[in-house]
């Protein structure tokens, strides 16, 4: 069961968090289908075990649920046949898995949306998501690693996907269950920023993992992550296990764009924190809404009377809202038409 984050009193946080959670029915259906596939493949002697990987397994996937990644640890009897020096092993493993799945689910379709290099994509008529079945062999040296199939390059590649899932789980426990919720928020931010389109979900997880090392309120965690990311994207960004640099194909121009986007978000997030501290919760919500988009609750409209009252001694926020706090982006100071020395 997914750890439950403590109820937050931050403006908009509870609704925002809830809006990103996967639908319970879809999550339960995915877990059930995983178990059903496991039972079928182990009964057929193809698999000795399975486990989930990816953002669904790490509980960092915001809705909607699009795909479930499932590693199929193949029976040892096939190691010499498929893992040896002969060609075609990954494709043969996928073909064997496909035959067993098709026999049990005749209406299932395969590789409809795409043909992933590492997985056999399965579409079930009763599921709104796809299931990606990744053939793999355990490491005979006893490490957490597995060797996963690559049918495009016709080889088996070492993967530390178990380690990645473990370290994310450990960080989540260390933050009493809020970390995965905050990663989902980071992914929602990324989805709302066209300048960050190139960043994959694992990059966001990695940046947030580097920044959020202890329990902190959601708003503070976002600002901390934005500030860290603004500088981190200018250099190497390693996945949470430390094994891979995820930035190898980034250009200097892209790094600068990513950095500016995160830096601006950090500046606006700091503004929202100041406003919330002064009791200007709707002003803070409006800024967060501008950063995260529709998953975040929209602020209430400001009446003309409220605007005029705030303009007398307050300030203007970066979103153009008049607030009584003087810690908005622009202080509203009375001006004289003529100024003398």
DSSP string, 92-123: HHHHHHHHHHHHH-TT-EESSS---SS-EEEE
Q: Which residues are within 8 A (CB) of 35 and not within 5 positions of it... i.e. 6 or more apart?
A: none
pLDDT of residue 8: 54
Q: Where are the alpha helices (DSSP H) in 134-280?
A: 161-174, 179-191, 201-211, 218-232, 252-277
Domain with 149 in it: what CATH number? 3.30.460.90
To which H or E segment does residue 36 belong? helix 24-43
Give long-range contacts, CB 8 A cutoff, 24+ apart: 188-194.
188/16, 188/20, 188/62, 188/292, 188/293, 188/295, 188/296, 189/222, 189/265, 189/291, 189/292, 191/293, 192/291, 192/292, 192/293, 193/261, 193/265
Classify residue 214: in a domain, yes or no.
Answer: yes
Residues 155 and 187 in one domain: no
Place of tokens 């006893």: 142
Q: For 45-49, 115-119, 213-217, 333-337, which range has the lowest pLDDT when averaged over its residues?
A: 333-337
Res 338: pLDDT? 35
User: Between 4 and 95, where is the model more confident?
Assistant: 95
The answer to whether residue 7 sits within a structural domain is no
Residue where a domain stops, chosen among 95, 130, 159: 159
pLDDT of residue 332: 52
Q: What's 252's domain CATH number?
A: 1.10.1410
Residue 222 lies in a domain: yes
Task: Give per-residue pLDDT as tens, 157-187.
Answer: 999 999 999 999 999 999 999 999 999 999 9
**Residue 9 pLDDT:** 58
| pLDDT at 319 (0 to 100) | 87
In a domain, 305, yes or no: yes
Average pLDDT, the chain: 91
Residues 183 and 316 in one domain: yes
Co-location of 64 and 29 in the same domain: yes
- State percent of the chain over pLDDT 70: 92
Give the total number of structural domains in the chain.
2
| pLDDT level of residue 310 (50, 70, 90 thresholds) | low
pLDDT band at 301 (very low <50, low <70, confident <90, very high): confident
Give the residue numbers spanning the domain of 325.
175-331
Q: Could you tell me if residue 341 is inside a domain? A: no
Same-domain status, 181 and 327: yes
The reply to whether 143 and 218 lie within a common domain is no
pLDDT in the model for residue 324: 80
pLDDT at position 341 is 44
pLDDT tens-digit map of 115-129: 999 999 999 999 999
Within a domain: residue 95? yes
């Amino acid at each position: 069961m997914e750890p439950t984050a403590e109820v937050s009193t931050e403006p908009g946080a509870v609704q925002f968090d809830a809006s990103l959670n996967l639908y319970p029915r879809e999550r339960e259906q995915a877990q059930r289908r995983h178990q059903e596939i496991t039972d079928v493949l182990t009964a057929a002697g193809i698999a000795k075990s399975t486990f989930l990987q990816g953002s669904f397994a790490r509980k960092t996937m915001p809705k909607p649920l699009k795909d479930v990644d499932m590693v199929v640890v193949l029976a040892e009897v096939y190691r010499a046949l498929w893992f040896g020096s002969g060609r075609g092993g990954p494709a043969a493993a996928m073909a064997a898995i496909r035959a067993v799945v098709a026999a049990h689910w005749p209406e299932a379709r395969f590789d409809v949306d795409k043909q992933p290099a590492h997985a056999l994509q399965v579409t079930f008529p009763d599921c709104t998501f796809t299931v990606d079945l990744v053939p793999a062999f355990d490491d005979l040296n006893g490490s957490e690693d597995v060797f996963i199939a690559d049918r495009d390059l016709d080889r088996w590649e070492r993967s530390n996907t178990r380690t990645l899932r473990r370290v994310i789980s450990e960080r989540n426990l260390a933050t009493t269950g809020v970390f995965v919720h905050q990663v989902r928020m980071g992914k929602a931010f990324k989805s709302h920023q066209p300048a960050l389109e190139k960043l994959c979900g694992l990059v966001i997880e990695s940046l947030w993992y580097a920044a959020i090392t202890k329990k902190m309120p959601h708003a503070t965690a976002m600002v901390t992550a934005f500030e860290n990311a603004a500088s981190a994207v200018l250099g190497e960004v390693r996945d949470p296990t430390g094994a891979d640099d995820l930035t190898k194909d980034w250009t200097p121009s892209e790094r600068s764009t990513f950095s500016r986007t995160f830096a601006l978000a950090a500046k606006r997030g700091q503004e929202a924190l100041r406003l919330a501290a002064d009791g200007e919760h709707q002003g803070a919500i409006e800024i967060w809404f501008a950063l995260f988009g529709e998953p975040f609750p929209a602020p209430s409209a400001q009446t003309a009377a409220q605007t005029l009252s705030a303009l007398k001694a307050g300030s203007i926020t970066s979103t153009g809202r008049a607030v009584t706090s003087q810690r908005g982006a622009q202080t509203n100071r009375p001006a004289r038409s003529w100024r003398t020395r």
